[in-house]
Amino acid sequence: MCGIVGYAGFAKKIPLDRAIEKIHHRGPDDNGAIYFDKVALGNTRLAIIDLSPKGHQPMFNRDKTLCITYNGEIYNFKEIKKLLEEKYQFKSNSDTEVILYAYQEWGVKCLEKLNGMFAFVIYDLKKKTLFGVRDRLGQKPLKYYFENGLLIFASEIKAILPLLGGKPELDEVAIDDFLTLQYVPTPKTGFKDIYKLPAGHYFIYKEKKLSVHKYWSLNFTKKLKLSESEWHELVLSEIERSVKSHLISDVPVGALLSGGLDSSIVVAMMSKYSSERINTFSIGFDDKKFDETPYAQQVSQMYNTNHTQLLVTSEDLMKNIANTVDLYDEPIGDNSILPTMLVSRLASSKVKVALTGDGGDENFAGYDRYTFVNIANFIAKSPSIFKKVALLHAKTAFQLRPNKLTERMNRFFSSLDDQFYRKYVNYNSFFSNAIKRSLYSDEFRKSLGDNDSFDTYSSYFDEKLSDLDNALKIDIRTYLPDDLLYKTDTASMRYGLELRSPFLDHSLMEKIAAMPSDMKIKLLTKKIILKDIALKNKLLPKEIIYRSKQGFNIPQNKWFKGPLKKFVTKTILSSGMIGRIFDRGKMEAYLDDYYKTNLNYDNNIFALLMLSLWFDKYLDK
């Protein structure tokens, strides 16, 4: 696992030292840079496979016609190496060298053979071409700046900025989308001319021109016709295979254990294939409603893991919240970034690699929003008079008793007849278009033109799919890489920790996408097949399998209205974004309403807090 950086198109050599220093945390074990005519590649290395100096990057092939800078893990690199050994002579045991020769042998088609998480750029000295790739699900980041033939790329934007020669400009539309979605949707980043390479895509740079191409996407249209027992057998064997492959490492491997279904199943499988006692880690809160540590302890005891946990308080939040923008160089409004940072720091004290349960919800329909999709489908079949009465009741309830629950009910019933991709945004949105625009400064509002954040998912919608499959497809293409994986990669790599997610194995996901929807969710019951497998194979006790999903959240509303009230208000209102993005008077009134009413739009407040810190660090002039 590493950090990568480089450029092409510069008229003269620009040292990469400052850029490499900005991502040193991603690879504290080693670093290097190589310069060519108008091209440079740099790398910081976290040694996981082949700890020797032979794994140093950037790395050449034997005749020095190809050079690579690479971040990630290829779990099947040994199998690929066997296919290449008769033709190519390897000098190391690293997966980096395998990618180099796989590209030399098969070109772009080498991507079909790679199973893992990766972002890499290869410079072909003969063709004077840069080939840059991001893995299928977006587990590893690849950001780039492109303008007037100049290309700068890196694992993190903070490594791009020193090479720009000045501060970047604000992308107003990206910020407008962020306030609704809680993340910046690909390819935007929040900065003009700086982009995210989409998951499952590669770029080609040649003669100062850049083209981006898709090489993989998940197919939900082709369903397999299997019996229930056949599905159980297939899913179990795929999970076992994936977990086993994710254990490959030359350093100790642990696990982040929340006590939820997904991470607990991963630990159960790890215990089957690991030859050593597993190190597990969890975060708890002093507020019992948010604390999952008793469940994590129960699973730890069941599988005899060496368990370490940390209790988080509002003081811990206050100490770390201002530091979040040192890690996150895109705006992110997901409040679980804070416990993710803390559990990554905790785990990194004992291991270099940890497995997670990420991807279980997106595969098996585990989020509450999928229940809303089911309920909406049920109501859509009801007589129109019923829908009208339900909407009237929802509006009346919100007017008489405005709170978080009645607001969500009103929002749900108001969008029943919308296009699916619009109402799906509506289920999950933070700020509505109307509320956002009421807070903006006149100048900022004008700069947005006719942007409508509620149309963000329209390009992913497929009318041939069921609403549930559309929801899963949308989340896998957007929320998963742009929020969840951005959050976990950034936090873990800050502390030199590599996180691996067996549920994001692309082969496993292709099979789950071919599963009928009713095996994942029925009415209010989510993750049906995964729960059945865990129960029938005695992987976990019933109280773990069937407990309500909590999520990796923090008791922020209690903290924001209590010990953090002054900090939140001061940080937002003193930010340079006031005046530039928001009208001061309107923002003061919005914050005042939050503290005086029961609406409890604390997620919106957290998004504003994160945006203010990000703006002041990267854009305030």
pLDDT higher at 93 or 510: 510
CA distance 345 to 347: 6
CA distance 316 to 305: 26
Q: What is the pLDDT of residue 77?
A: 95
Mean pLDDT check: name the lowest of 13-22, 281-290, 416-425. Answer: 281-290
Token pair of 397 as six digits: 């309830």
Parallel, antiparallel or unpaired: strands 66-74 and 59-60:
antiparallel
Mean pLDDT, range 151-174, rounded to an integer:
94
CA distance 296 to 379: 37
List of domains in the chain: 2-214 (3.60.20.10), 228-365+479-545 (3.40.50.620)
* 53-68 per-residue burial string, b: 16 or more CB within 10 A, e: under 16: eebbbbbbbeeeebbb
3-state secondary structure of 309: strand
165-218 pLDDT per residue, tens = 777 999 999 999 999 999 999 999 999 999 999 999 999 999 999 999 999 999
265-324 pLDDT per residue, tens = 999 999 999 888 999 999 988 777 778 899 999 999 999 999 999 988 777 777 888 889
Which residues contact residue 139 at a Cβ distance below 8 angstroms, ignoring those fewer than 6 apart? 72, 117, 481, 485, 489, 501, 504
Q: What is the pLDDT of residue 226?
A: 96
Q: Which amino acid, one-letter code, is at 357?
A: G
Most confident region among 31-45, 109-123, 558-572, 585-599 by mean pLDDT? 109-123
Token pair of 301 as six digits: 């005891």
Q: What is the pLDDT of residue 31?
A: 85
Peptide bond into 58 cis (omega under 30): yes
Mean pLDDT, range 510-535, rounded to an integer:
94
> Which residues is 600 bridged to in the sheet?
none
Q: With bands split at pLDDT 50, 70 and 90, how would you rate the model's confidence at 7? A: very high
Helices and strands (H and E) in the chain: how many: 29, 17
Query: pTM here?
Result: 0.94
279 half-sphere exposure, CB direction, 13 A CA radius? 16
CA distance 234 to 214: 28
Q: Return the biggest CA–CA distance within the chain.
A: 76
Q: Is the Cβ–Cβ distance between 579 and 441 less than 8 Å?
A: yes
311 half-sphere exposure, CB direction, 13 A CA radius? 5
* 242-258 per-residue burial string, b: 16 or more CB within 10 A, e: under 16: bbbbbbbeeeebbbbbb
Phi-psi region of 496 (alpha: psi -120 to 50; beta: other; left: phi over 0): left
Q: Is the Cβ–Cβ distance between 495 and 25 less than 8 Å?
A: yes
pLDDT reading at 86 higher than 80: yes
CA distance 500 to 565: 36
Which residues contact residue 529 at a Cβ distance below 8 angstroms, ignoring those fewer than 6 apart? 231, 232, 235, 364, 515, 519, 520
Q: In the chain, what is the straight-line distance between the N-terminal and C-terminal CA atoms, in Å? A: 35
pLDDT reading at 52 higher than 70: no
Q: Long-range contacts: 126-132, Cβ < 8 Å, 24+?
A: 126/65, 127/206, 128/206, 128/207, 129/204, 129/205, 129/206, 130/6, 130/8, 130/39, 130/203, 130/204, 130/205, 130/206, 131/103, 131/202, 131/203, 131/204, 132/197, 132/202, 132/203, 132/205
Q: Is the Cβ–Cβ distance between 264 and 63 less than 8 Å?
A: no
What are the start-end ranges of the E strands in 425-562?
498-500
Q: Is the Cβ–Cβ distance between 122 and 104 less than 8 Å?
A: no
Token pair of 596 as six digits: 């005086």
Q: What is the pLDDT of residue 50?
A: 53
pLDDT higher at 616 or 28: 616
355-398 pLDDT per residue, tens = 999 999 999 999 989 998 988 888 877 888 877 877 788 788 87
Check if 67 is active-site: no
CA distance 31 to 17: 10
Burial of 89 (0-12, 13-18, 19+ CB in 10 A): exposed
CA distance 604 to 581: 15
Catalytic residue among 2, 34, 351, 485: 2
Task: Centre a 10 Å sphere on the Cβ of residue 553 and count the other Cβ atoms it contains.
Answer: 15
